Homo-oligomer: A and B are copies of this chain.
Amino acid sequence: MGGFGRKAYEFLSELGLGPRNPGCFVNGAWRGSGPVIAEVMEASIEDYEEGLRACANAAKIWMQIPAPKRGEIVRQIGEALRTKLYYLGRLVSLEMGKILPEGIGEVQEIIDMCDYAVGLSRQLNGSIIPSERPNHMMLEVWNPLGIVGVITAFNFPCAVLGWNACIALVCGNCVVWKGAPTTPLITIAMTEIVAQVLEKNNLPAAIFTSFCGGAEIGEAIARDTRIPLVSFTGSSKLLLTVLLLYLELSYIKGVESATVVMCIIIVGLLVQQNVHKRFGKCLLELSGNNAIIVMDDADIQLAMRSVLFAAVGTAGQRCTTCRRLLLHESVYQTVVDQLIQVYKQVNIGDPLEKGTLLGPLHTPISKENFVKGIEVIKAQGGKILVGGSVIDSEGNFVQPTIVEIAPSAQVVKEELFGPVLYVMKFQTLNEAIEINNSVPQGLSSSIFTRKPEIIFKWIGAHGSDCGIVNVNIPTNGAEIGGAFGGEKATGGGREAGSDSWKQYMRRST
C-alpha cells in the first residue's frame, strides 16, 4: 500500500470491497481458506484445485461460443470498468503507491484493450492457402488453447492482466489470474467487475478465475498441465527464489536472471509431469534496463522532459522505466546540470494528491533495496549527483537520484527497481548503440535526434536490440496497437497488439 497507514477510504465499497475480503474467486464464489494477509484471506491449494476444476469445465463452454459473442462480453467488461474508472484508479494509487493520474491511466489502458479486443474478435483470421494438389486447399485455422494462466506483478497490478485477459478471452480461453501478493484489493475489485458481467450474461463465473496468493499458487499454475500457456510478468526475484528452493534446483549456480530460472522451473515442473499431458508455453515479460540516447542534434528540452517522465514516473518501478541516460559528450554537461536542477524540484508526496510527481516505493522492502543498491553503486565507482537517500517519513519515500557511472560497472547491468538514473557519456552513435545493447535485458530504448540517417540506423539491423525502439519519445508509454515485449533476458514474449493474439491460440494447418 505504498507505505501509507490504512485509512477509511469509503470509495472502496463502490468496488465491492469490505473490511475483510476472501482472496480467491472460485467457480463463482468468493472464498479463501489460506493465511490472512492484511484483510485478505489468501487462497489455499485446495481452493486452487477446486477453482481449476470449475475453470476447465467452463473452458469447454467458452470455446464453443462464437468469437464475436465473446467480444461482446469483453466489451461489457470494458463498459463496467469505464463506470468505475475513477474508483479503480484511486485504488491502484492507494495500494500500489503510484500517483493518481498513473493509477487512472493504468485502468484506462485495460478499457482501451477491451475496445481493441472487441474488434479483434471478428478478425482472428485463419488463412486459405493455395495447394499444389488439384482440387485441394490448405486451411490454417486458429483454435483456442483452453486456459491461459496470468501471473502479474505489483507495479502494474491490473494493466498487465488486461493485456493478457482481453485477448485470451476473445480467443476463446478461460483465464486463471494470480495477482501480486501485495496488491490483493485490486485483484479482488477487478475480479468482481468481470464476474458481474459474466453473471449478467448467464455464463459460468469460472471463465475468469482469480487468486490472491503467493509462491504456492504461482507454482501450482506453473505446474498445471491443464494450463497450456502461462503469461508471467515479474521483476522480483522473491517468488522465483521460493520456487527454486522448493524444487531443489538450486544446484544451478550463479543464476542471475529471473527469465531463465522461471523458464527452467516451468519446463522442469512439466518434466516431472506425466509426458502424456499437454506441454506448456510461456509468455515472459521480465526485467527491463532501458536507455535513452541523446544525440548532439537533439531537441534538448524535449529529451529532458521525456527523461524525467521515464525515470521518475511510477517511482522508477515500471519495466519500461529509463534507467540509463546516454549523452553525447557535447551536450553531456548541459543536460546533466539542468537535470539536477529539475530533480531537486520534483514534488514528492501523497500519490493521491494533485501535483505530486513522485510517490512512495511499493513496500518497505523496496526501500531497503534502494538503500542497498546505492551502497553497491558507490562501491562500484558510481558518483551520486543528486538524491541518493531515503526520506525520513512514514511512507517508503526515497529521493529521485542521478548517478554518474561507467557503462562497464556491473550494477548498471542490473535492474534496481527505484528512481535511480545512470548517466554516461559517449562520443559516437556506434558507441551509444553498443552501450545500449550491452545489458542482458532488451525491452525498451529511445533515441533523441533530428537526423533521418541516425533514425534509420537506430531502428535497423545494426541498431537497438530491444523489442521497443523509440525515436524522440520516452522509453515508457507503449501503445496497445503495437506488440509489447522485449528480446534477450526480457523473455521474448509479445503482448497486446499486432499479431500477439496468435500466441493465445494454436494453429492447425
Contact = CB atoms under 8 A, between A and B. Distances in A.
B68 A481 contact: yes
Contacts of A497: 122-123, 129
Contact of A141 (B123, B259, B459): B459
Interface stretch (A113-121, A186-194, A357-365): A113-121
A492 B279 contact: yes
B481 A440 contact: no
B467 A509 contact: yes
A473 interface: yes
B128 A121 contact: no
A131 interface: yes
Given A128-B139, A132-B69, A118 B121 contact: no
Given A129-B122, A131-B68, A509-B468, A264 B271 contact: yes
| Most chain B beta carbons < 10 A, residue from A121, A278, A508 | A508
A9 to B, nearest CB: 29
Contact of A118 (B119, B141, B278): B119
Interface string A476-509: 0011111110011100101001110000001111
B125 A64 contact: no
Contacts of A31: none
A66 interface: yes
Contacts of A464: 508
A36 to B, nearest CB: 37
A266 B396 CA distance: 41
Contacts of A123: 119, 123, 129-130, 481, 497
B456 A135 contact: yes
Nearest to A469: B508
B141 A469 contact: yes
Contacts of A56: none
A185 interface: no
Contact of A132 (B64, B66, B144, B271): B66
B509 A65 contact: no
A438 interface: yes
Interface string A130-143: 11111111111101
A27 to B, nearest CB: 22
Contact of A279 (B64, B67, B252, B260): B260
A439 B277 CA distance: 8
Contacts of A259: 279
A66 B133 contact: yes
Contact of A439 (B276, B471, B488): B276
Interface string A269-304: 011100111110100000000000000000000000
B278 A461 contact: no
A71 interface: yes
A63 B461 contact: yes
Given A116-B122, A451-B450, A498-B140, A507 B483 contact: yes
A122 B275 contact: no
Interface in A26-76: 60, 63-69, 71, 75
B68 A138 contact: no
B115 A119 contact: yes
A393 interface: no
A452 interface: yes
A126 interface: yes
A506 B482 contact: no
A264 B279 CA distance: 13
A268 interface: yes
Contacts of A118: 115-116, 118-119
A363 B386 CA distance: 71
A437 B489 CA distance: 34
Contact of A275 (B63, B64, B67, B489): B489
A130 B465 contact: no
Given A140-B482, A461-B143, A125 B128 contact: yes
A460 interface: yes
A115 B123 CA distance: 12
Given A136-B473, A279-B488, 16 more contacts: A63-B461, A71-B115, A115-B115, A119-B122, A119-B123, A126-B127, A138-B479, A143-B461, A172-B461, A252-B268, A260-B270, A264-B264, A264-B268, A264-B271, A279-B440, A483-B509
30 contacts: A66-B134, A67-B130, A68-B132, A68-B481, A79-B79, A116-B118, A125-B127, A125-B129, A127-B498, A128-B128, A128-B139, A128-B141, A131-B479, A132-B479, A140-B482, A141-B460, A141-B469, A143-B463, A172-B461, A252-B271, A254-B272, A279-B487, A450-B453, A452-B455, A452-B471, A463-B508, A467-B508, A469-B508, A483-B509, A487-B506
The 5 closest A-B pairs by CB, nearest first: A119-B119, A122-B481, A126-B128, A67-B130, A68-B132
